Amino acid sequence: MQLRIRGVVQGVGFRPWIYNLARRHGLAGFVLNSPRGVFIEAEGSPKSLEAFLSAMRTEAPPLVRIAAIDRAEITPLGEIDFVIRHSEAGESAFALIPPDICVCEACLADTRDPGNRRFDYPFTNCTNCGPRYSIILDVPYDRPMTTMAEFAMCDACRVEYENPEDRRFHAQPNACPVCGPRLSLRLPADPAQQTSSARAILERVGEVLRGGGIVAWKGLGGYQLACDARQSAAVDELRRRKRRSEKPFAIMVGDLATAESLCFVADEERKALLSPERPIVLLHRRPGADLAEGVSPGNPATGVMLPCTPMHDLLFRILGEQWGAAPALIMTSGNVSEEPIVIDNAEAEEHLAGIADLFAHHDRRIHTRVDDSVVRVAAGSVMLMRRARGYAPQPVFLGRGEAEVLACGAQQKNTLCLTRAGFAIPSQHLGDLENFETLRFFEETLERMRRLFHVTPTAVAHDLHPGYLSTQLALKMEGVRHMGVQHHLAHIASCMAEHGLDGRVIGVAWDGTGFGTDGTIWGGEFLSAEYAGFERYARLRPVLLAGGDSGVREPWRVARSYLIETFGSVPNASPWDQMAAPDRIRIVDAMLQRRVSTIPTSSAGRLFDAVASLIGLRHSVSFEGQAAMMLEAAADAWAGPPDPPYDFAITVATPIDVDLRPTIRAIVEDVRRGEPQPRISARFHTTLVAIIAAICRRMRADLTLDRVCLSGGCFQNARLLEGCVQSLRDDGFTVYFQQAVPANDGGIALGQAAIACEILRGGA
Ligand SMILES: [Zn+2]
Ligand SMILES: [Zn+2]
């Protein structure tokens, strides 16, 4: 039997594992790495061969991700032994690279054992764990091609590295206190770097944190800013220095028990907290949880993560000893405002000078910046909100030809995506392409990924929005084919690619903003979609947005628009007189009534904004999606019996319009009657689920489609997502939503890439 295995199978301990597995099953043959995947020839009894194959699927080491196994039968050669053959050098070596993975149990035990030579050593790792993507400079993935090249292994480490039976066989970042990286300390006022033992340094960090100070310390994929999450003054000071007004901070706690004492943790959430990716998991706080109000102001959810490296674990052990209580720390990206996360020691001291009271550095360079990932559990699944450390650069197997393309993504929460050999490789979260630093990060990541994965794109896919920097970058590239992809089709294609779907689907793409083919802003779309194209079957009936995209920070503007659409004018002496300053209200009303400086939008995100403002939850916001988040939280607080959906109308036209004026009228009446905000919010969500179910039923009847893909940022709202998934499944639909890549614009690049590959494969 001959096997070719594709996926993340190199540099992850796969060959020694195969070697041991084959021997266990009494097979003969060989395993080798090649630019086209791992090749195996194995001979033995049919029963052993099948057992060997099935173990490959179910028991592979933690970092291995098998995307495809090609199998061919060959004549047995009568081999008697199983061997690891030397790797085949390829002209253009291509290997998928594993993400950075949290410390494994065995390594953690080493660092906690006073008798072990790695006791308290912050950089302990093995073949199954530790840094990868953040330290790899180039392939083949070998120590000289990582930022560990500058550390020569001591004899003890080398013995482990060379022994196929050892957990550290070919662990490229293998290190110990004798030969590996070290921590150092730096006070902003004192130019001297202080070096001493890791424990002494982290004890100092603990003292500063306990005194209410802010520490910048070098984590796995970049610097993190930490302070005591229970001291309000420290948290408020961090907000002030970081220029971050209300966006929630994530916290890190030392163990699961502490997480459970602060928040409700369901089974799937527990699994996510403990998973090797170690993401930030959004959890509901327990009433009266001992955390400063400033951690996530006005928001019942808090992002929580557990230690992901031995260094984090050691700090929490030391804090536990020092403080005598289970510590909870803010652990947020080391950056100013929305800039990329800082990775370099000197860069940290420069950029974070006004923020940190103390710097804890180390001397292992971070080559690639990778922020912490954020997930939430919804509809029984882990759903990526921000995909970075632990996940990037995990590939998605497209299998749509072997074209090499670059997809540039959108504007907000940008990622890019490259394809090679049938795989799409989405980058880590890069950020909003609105400042010079993030743009530089985009270009840096593109350059590095192109080199790392040996990709020479022949086509560049981009959004249709002419104002997006990602579009402008794409159009500036020469000698490549440019492919504009409609924003909402890209969302649906991303969902299809993630689930390996083909053919045509019902695509429900609901988000804040996306450029439509008619030059207006879309965002409440029902598409009959396939990779090669789409028809806009239905949409939310457009309303006018006064002041265009600038209206996004001021939900009251779109609330006025819905009121004027519904009633012709805003009723006098209504509670809606206090939405903004009277003169600003007058100006916006005049713009809307005369239709000047306005743009029509079918955006579902703006509908959330409008309702949040109409019911008095929030008239202006400090980050996009804040109003929708508050509306979801308000709905979750409704404990009464569920209400039926509000009325809405469906207008027969092409595309079909979902007319929300009856809904708005009913909400206005509810507000006047003094119905509580949670009740109105819950009923509003129920209405949206009913709208989606009604249109999907119509599409099934008209187009004989019964697979639904839900994508776009609105489906990060767990209440909306769960309502739709349940209602559509009950109705016999097969429902797909995004899990491994974000439903928001962070997932757009994958969709663009899949579409480009399909078009190139079709020769169009
Ligand atoms: Zn390990
Ligand atoms: Zn060593």
d(CA 98, CA 56): 18
β-strands 374-378, 381-386: how paired?
Answer: antiparallel
Query: 163 phi and psi, to 5 degrees?
Result: -100, 115
State in Å: Cα 174 to ligand 1 middle: 10
Who surrounds ion ligand 2 at CB < 5 A? 154, 157, 176, 178-179
**Which 3 state secondary structure label does DSSP give 743?**
coil
- Ligand found nearest the CA of 111: 1
pLDDT of 219 > 50? The answer is yes
State in Å: Cα 121 to ligand 2 middle: 11
pLDDT of 91 > 50? The answer is no
Cis preceding-peptide flag for 655 (omega within 30 of 0): yes
State in Å: Cα 157 to ligand 2 middle: 4
State in Å: Cα 127 to ligand 1 middle: 6
End-to-end CA distance of the chain: 38
The single-letter DSSP state of residue 595 is T
Cis preceding-peptide flag for 393 (omega within 30 of 0): yes
The single-letter DSSP state of residue 597 is S
d(CA 57, CA 45): 19
State in Å: Cα 181 to ligand 2 middle: 10
Q: Tell me if 627 sits within 8 A of 572, measured CB to CB.
A: no
Compute the residue count for the chain: 764
588 is written with which tokens?
Answer: 């916006």
Give the tens place of pLDDT for each residue, 705-722: 999 999 999 999 999 999
Nearest to 40 by CA among 25, 30, 51, 49: 30
β-strands 215-218, 358-362: how paired?
Answer: parallel
Does pTM top 0.85 for this prediction?
yes
State in Å: Cα 109 to ligand 1 middle: 9
Nearest to 747 by CA among 392, 370, 222, 484: 392
- Ligand found nearest the CA of 107: 1
The single-letter DSSP state of residue 414 is B
Give the tens place of pLDDT for each residue, 510-546: 999 999 999 999 999 999 999 999 999 999 999 999 9
- Ligand found nearest the CA of 125: 1
State in Å: Cα 106 to ligand 2 middle: 17
* Burial label, 702 (beta-carbon count in 10 A; 0-12, 13-18, 19+): exposed
State in Å: Cα 417 to ligand 2 middle: 37
- Ligand found nearest the CA of 13: 1
d(CA 232, CA 294): 7
State in Å: Cα 206 to ligand 1 middle: 26
Q: Tell me how crowded residue 642 is: count the other CB atoms within 10 A of its CB.
A: 11
State in Å: Cα 135 to ligand 2 middle: 18
The sheet that has 65-72: what strands, in order across it?
Answer: 65-72, 2-8, 37-43, 28-34, 82-84
Radius of gyration (C-alpha) of the chain in whole angstroms: 27
Nearest to 456 by CA among 431, 481, 429, 427: 481
Give the tens place of pLDDT for each residue, 14-59: 888 999 899 999 999 999 887 778 899 999 999 999 999 999 988 9
d(CA 441, CA 341): 10
The distance of Cα 532 from the centroid of its chain, to the nearest Å, equals 26
Nearest to 627 by CA among 699, 553, 701: 553
Query: 523 phi and psi, to 5 degrees?
Result: 165, 0
Give the tens place of pLDDT for each residue, 564-611: 999 988 776 677 888 999 999 999 999 999 999 999 999 999 999 999
- Ligand found nearest the CA of 103: 1
Which residues make Cβ contacts (< 8 Å) with residue 247, sequence separation at least 6?
622, 623
State in Å: Cα 163 to ligand 2 middle: 15
- Ligand found nearest the CA of 177: 2
pLDDT of 333 > 50? The answer is yes
Q: What is the pLDDT of residue 548?
A: 67
